[in-house]
Amino acid sequence: MGDAFNRDIFKCNYSMNFSSATLQHFLPPATGDITWWIALSGGLDSCVLVHALAALKLPVQLHALHVNHQISPNANTWQQHCADICMRLGIPFTAVKVSVENTGRGIEDAARKARYSVFEQHLMQGDYLVTAHHADDQTETLLLRLMRGAGPRGLAAMAQSRLLGQGILYRPLLTFTRAELEAYAHCHELSWVNDESNSDDHYDRNYLRNQVMPLLRQRWPVFAQKWQQTAELCAANEALIEELAGQDLQLADFREEFIGTSITLAWLIGLSTARHQNFLRAWLRGQGLAIPEQQHLAQIETQIISGRQDAKTQVSWGDVSLRVYRGRVYALPMVDLPASGELQFIVSKLVDKPLLKQDLPNLHIRFRRGGERCRPAGRAHSQTLKHLLQDYGVAPWLRESLPLIYSNDDLVAVSDLWICEGYTAEESGYSLKYERKAK
């Protein structure tokens, strides 16, 4: 980049609020054994970011990553523009083409998912993905979430950093406005591309950016900074809420189940409405499950908290089913039944668990048809499978999908729950292990 490049930076630093020097105060610690991937779209914001980072000569490996969505007819031109920038700055450049398919939530959402999938694939352990989201993006995000009825978690808007795959997503520009970035770009005579879709007010974010934000800025020039304060306050409040939910989880007798997880129903009922709703959101989010909306929370209130507490009670949404059995509430991911698991036959020596004989003919799997009976090894009498499953505490929604192991027409074992009398090995045999798989 040379002395001329550095002199140019020095000259511009005195005439604007954003510079490579001020940027350095908002960056994560720089160490030489990780890569900082720079999300480079070719627009003004990301071009400013890659230029300012290159000027700092940090002791890390910078690597620009461009995602070509192949939506605009100019997409390949944008990709080449990014490659040219990186060549001039001496930064390694990677471009990935993706196919964007609208699955019903809009092309913007589909493009974002495709883009972040690429980011996750490239991040190694400890790597950073540095993006160019700025203060104006933050205010737009806050407004959009406000329009969707978001609570404190949503109104915290974009965090400066969060986990992403094996690495960390980092947004160092949230303090700076687009006007400040544009001033830097003009001072350093940077070039960038303009996405023609940015002028299409059909998209909510564009409508806010092009129609609403100028009016707000005209009336309240520093509103973006005030809204950033609101987002930070909401983030602090959300951190306290999460801390409370974490304490509640320890008190709820949380348990990993054969499928999903469960908590004690009586404990949940004892909480205030606001507190148990906060707990439910945190519990489900921690399991990677969809969060209930207000209508679902109302159903949980009437059917689970205040309703009949039996195995027929069920509230479902998205990929989640909340059910009650024997005084516990189960959070279950949706599964394909009955063929939703893997039954392993592992040759083992007899220690403290009954093993299935190895020499049984025609071993095969069936599922319940009704009327099955058997006698678990060690029991005095045979019983119907229905009563045995109740005795073993198998939840009703799992019973029909349990694999039954037969030898010819004889029931010899039920999943990995028990071996039937007369079919246990004396020294070595099969140890059964059943793992259910969610969708």
Q: State pLDDT tens for residues 79-106.
A: 999 999 999 999 999 999 998 888 777 7
Please give, one letter per residue, the 3-state secondary structure of 71-135.
CCCCHHHHHHHHHHHHHHHCCCEEEEECCCCCCCCCHHHHHHHHHHHHHHHHCCCCCEEECCCCH
- Residue 160: pLDDT over 70: yes
Q: Tell me the C-alpha distance between 115 and 326, whole Å.
A: 45
**Residues 62 and 49 sit within 8 Å (Cβ to Cβ):** no
- For residue 388, name the pLDDT band (cuts at 50, 70, 90): very high
Q: Which of 11-20, 309-318, 401-410 has the lowest mean pLDDT?
A: 11-20
- Residue 339: pLDDT over 60: no
* Between 154 and 46, residue with greater pLDDT: 46
429, containing H or E segment: strand 428-436
DSSP secondary-structure letter at 210? Answer: I
What pTM does this model have? Answer: 0.66
pLDDT score recorded for residue 342: 81
- For residue 145, name the pLDDT band (cuts at 50, 70, 90): confident
Q: Tell me the C-alpha distance between 66 and 96, whole Å.
A: 6
Closest to 418 in 3D by CA, of 432, 408, 398, 428: 432
Closest to 56 in 3D by CA, of 91, 14, 94: 91
Return the bridge partners of 348, or none. 429
Q: Tell me the C-alpha distance between 297 and 87, whole Å.
A: 53
Which residues are CB-neighbours of 72 under 8 A, at least 6 positions away?
78, 195, 196, 197
- Residue 153: pLDDT over 70: yes
- The predicted model gives 46-63 an average pLDDT of 95
DSSP codes of every residue in 356-411 = B-S--SSEEEE---S--EE-BTT-SS-EEHHHHHHHTT--HHHHTTPPEEEETTEE
- Determine the topology of domain 2-232 in CATH: Rossmann fold (3.40.50)
Asked if the domains 2-232 and 252-333 are classified in one and the same CATH topology, the answer is: no
Closest to 184 in 3D by CA, of 259, 236, 230, 134: 134
- For residue 437, name the pLDDT band (cuts at 50, 70, 90): low
Q: Tell me the C-alpha distance between 80 and 68, whole Å.
A: 10
DSSP secondary-structure letter at 68? Answer: E
- The predicted model gives 264-269 an average pLDDT of 91
Alpha helices (H) in 176-325, listed in sequence order: 178-187, 204-207, 213-219, 223-251, 265-269, 273-286, 294-300
**Residues 123 and 164 sit within 8 Å (Cβ to Cβ):** yes
* Residue 363 CB-density burial (10 A; 0-12 exposed, 13-18 middle, 19+ buried): middle
Which residues are CB-neighbours of 127 under 8 A, at least 6 positions away?
34, 35, 36, 37, 166, 167, 168
- Residues above pLDDT 90, as percent of the chain: 46
Closest to 122 in 3D by CA, of 170, 164, 172: 164
150: region left, alpha or beta (phi > 0 left; psi from -120 to 50 alpha): beta
pLDDT score recorded for residue 106: 78
Mean pLDDT, the chain, as a whole number? Answer: 87
pLDDT score recorded for residue 225: 80
- The predicted model gives 66-72 an average pLDDT of 92
- The predicted model gives 31-42 an average pLDDT of 91
- The predicted model gives 203-232 an average pLDDT of 87
pLDDT score recorded for residue 6: 42
Q: Tell me the C-alpha distance between 95 and 137, whole Å.
A: 24
Closest to 311 in 3D by CA, of 372, 394, 414: 394
- Residue 223: pLDDT over 90: no
- The predicted model gives 134-155 an average pLDDT of 85
Q: What angle do CA 387, 392, 394 make, to 5 degrees?
A: 90
- Residue 2: pLDDT over 80: no
Buried b (16+ CB within 10 A) or exposed e, 30-52: eeeebbbbbbbbbbbbbbbbbbb
Is the N-terminal amide bond of 338 cis, ω within 30° of 0? yes
Please count the other Cβ atoms lying within 10 Å of the Cβ belonging to residue 189: 7
Which amino acid is present at 260?
A: G
Q: Tell me the C-alpha distance between 234 and 158, whole Å.
A: 11
* Between 145 and 95, residue with greater pLDDT: 95
CATH class entry, domain 252-333: mainly alpha
Closest to 304 in 3D by CA, of 335, 279, 338, 286: 279
> CA end-to-end span of the chain, whole Å?
51
Domain boundaries, the chain: 2-232, 252-333, 341-436
261: region left, alpha or beta (phi > 0 left; psi from -120 to 50 alpha): beta
- The predicted model gives 392-400 an average pLDDT of 83
pLDDT score recorded for residue 14: 38
- For residue 1, name the pLDDT band (cuts at 50, 70, 90): very low
